[in-house]
Amino acid sequence: MDKNIETVLSYVNIVEEISGFVKLKKTGRNYTGLCPFHSEKTPSFSVNETKGLYYCFGCGKGGNVITFLKEIRGDSFSDIVDYLKNKYNIPVEYTKFRKTDSSSQAENPVKKIINLAVNFYYENLFVYISNSRHIMNYLNERGINVDVAKDFKLGYAGFGNGLTALLKSVKADLDIAADMGLLVKKDDYNKVYADRFVNKLIIPIMDRTGEPIALASRIITRERDQLSNNFPKYINTNNSEIFVKNNTLYGLDKALPFIKKENAVIVVEGYFDMITLYANGIKNIVATMGTALSKNHISSLSRLCDEIVLLYDGDKAGINAINRGMELFREFMDSSDKNIYAACLSGGEDPDTYVRKFGSENLIKLINESKKPPVEFAIDYYVEKNKKSGIIKNNEESRLKSKISVIKDVVPYFKKIGNNIIFSHYVNILANKLGLNENVIRRYIESNKSWIGTGNTDYSLDTAYEISIKEDMGIEDIIVSKIFCNLVLTEYISDDIISEFSDKDAVYIIKEIQNAVKKGASQEIIKGAVEEIISGTVNADKWKRIYYSGLMSENSGNREDFKKLLMKLKVNNIDKICRDILEAIKSGNLDEKGKVIKFQELNRLKYISKEFQKKICGY
């Protein structure tokens, strides 16, 4: 290894650098956390501070701090070395790779152009004050003073084509600037360009290390109250090789140390929500820049802290955001050490105006008192909505209809829950709020045809089985659907197991596939013949639906799961025999000797069933 690189690595604390991207916890000699390179619920990412190395046992990525930063930031080797040199004041002259590294910042036109643009707009606001006075007045009205504006490197895009002229003067590639969304091409043939942003407030967007990667512009007029609703207030530069909007959280570069300190983050929607709250002492704050919260946002934040609070402008905005994000939140609902909450402001306030009116302490108090898990937030919203709408009346029939209305509204949120314990918890909350018995709500949900289980198959076999039953699929249907996805699974079905099936169609399909496998036919040939096999069944339409839905499923299950399904079939049949025996005993048609024989048979079958259930549960 180059001696200069060794010097850089000796100065840098790998734990400190990686902690900017992953919440690390000391575990023995190493630090562990959720891997930033792949999705996981259980930490498999390990960092050894002494050796200066990291490794993920899940995806296999590993290396030193330079490798990590290169991978996570997408920068070149020399860019990372320069970054570390400057950050730690490392006394080395590093030029060896600078000449040959074609993707270095000095030769990266996108980075060069965005830096030039940020500095140009910044000077327009703070140097040429006579032209930007209305912008400063606007910022002052929003409680943003000069120091805060400079801290966030706000700028002003004036009239004319000043940026175009600047980029021409330094021989920057104007086509790239246009692709980035900084310029517009007026004439393709003559390559005439113009500034895209005119008379607008400019808000630079930084990566988590504080380097500019994009810009947002806000329309500002001297008669601000007359702003037309036909024009969007904010326009961003385009996605580029260094900026993807739904991967980026505004203000993360400033909030990062405070998120780690508080082990929590507050997520707001707008740029000024973030700026105002940060300036008023609420530092663990980021913004989604007006876009919906994405899976990338959630993944990024969950690696930095254990609590995420989504702060919305109003109840309707909150419920709409939760509606969009329930699939994302589900990962948090079954995590013992990760929490996600929603909180809303009422009275038409947004976080920015609320803090300016009532102060940051009152906002923190409101968040702590009103934050709720997403499903509970949805339950409370619809219960309250029914109360306010006047649906809840004095007569019993109206009250019952109102309660059914609430349950119908809440069902879409419940069907995203894949864990039975969590599902029961929220059924209990809903039952208490509506004054109903839990079993009544369960029966209503299970009888509702719109209920389609989408639970995570990481949970127990029983959960998957129960969810599938809600889709009108019995255990025999499920077994055949698994076989459709993996024909080799028929090797686990012996004649004894075949005898457990009651559906003649299922037996016919399994035997036909087994015969084809025994004859040595390839998987492709057999799959091509499956539709012909299905056409020979009594209920062909049903099996065709199961066949195609099985093929479209992302999770067809593994062999161990399939064997558990076969055991489940056996358990179900035993339980049915046990119920028949109990009915016979209760009928009164047996003498004492007959009852004893039946009880002995019942105990034997229950023992067998219990042993099978142990195998299903894995112990």
Residue 289 counted as domain residue: yes
- CATH number of the domain to which 301 belongs: 3.40.1360.10
Phi and psi of 48, rounded to 5°?
A: -105, 110
Assess whether 484 and 598 both reside in one domain.
yes
CB-based contact 267:286 (threshold 8 Å): yes
Last residue of a domain, one of 371, 393, 413: 371
Distance, CA of 442 to chain centre: 28
pLDDT at 454: 39
Number of domains in the chain: 5
Assess whether 597 and 467 both reside in one domain.
yes
Assess whether 515 and 437 both reside in one domain.
no
pLDDT at 174: 94
What is the DSSP secondary-structure string of 27-75?
ETTEEEE--SSS--SS--EEEETTTTEEEETTT--EE-HHHHHHHHH--
Last residue of a domain, one of 371, 398, 425: 371
Residue 455 counted as domain residue: no
Question: Residue 225 corresponds to which amino acid?
Answer: D
CB-based contact 343:314 (threshold 8 Å): no
Assess whether 225 and 118 both reside in one domain.
yes
pLDDT at 573: 86
Number of helices and strands in the chain (H, E): 27, 15
Q: What is the pTM of this model?
A: 0.63
Assess whether 399 and 414 both reside in one domain.
yes
pLDDT at 548: 62
Residues 6+ apart with CB under 8 A from 592: none
Assess whether 481 and 424 both reside in one domain.
no
Residue 257 counted as domain residue: yes
CB-based contact 34:23 (threshold 8 Å): yes
CB-based contact 423:417 (threshold 8 Å): yes
Phi and psi of 59, rounded to 5°?
A: -110, -10
Assess whether 47 and 171 both reside in one domain.
no
Cross-strand pairs, 32: 25, 46
Assess whether 125 and 238 both reside in one domain.
yes
Question: Residue 609 corresponds to which amino acid?
Answer: S
Assess whether 40 and 180 both reside in one domain.
no
Cross-strand pairs, 250: 287
* Residue 274 token pair: 């973030």
Could you give the angle at which helices 438-447 and 420-434 cross, rounded to 10 degrees? 110
10-residue mean pLDDT profile of the chain (619 residues): values are: 79 90 88 87 87 85 88 82 86 56 59 95 90 91 94 95 95 94 84 92 93 93 53 88 90 92 92 95 93 82 88 73 70 70 83 93 93 88 76 59 82 78 88 84 66 37 36 79 84 87 92 85 69 85 73 58 84 86 83 82 80 58
E strands, 375-506, in order: none
- CATH number of the domain to which 35 belongs: 3.90.580.10
CA 372, 305, 244: angle at the middle one, nearest 5? 95
Assess whether 408 and 485 both reside in one domain.
no
C-alpha pair distances (Å), 105 with each of 68, 119, 243: 18, 16, 15
Residue 497 counted as domain residue: yes
Containing structural domain, residue 598: 461-617
pLDDT at 528: 65
- Check residue 52 and give left, alpha or beta (phi > 0: left; psi -120 to 50: alpha): left
Residue 93 counted as domain residue: yes
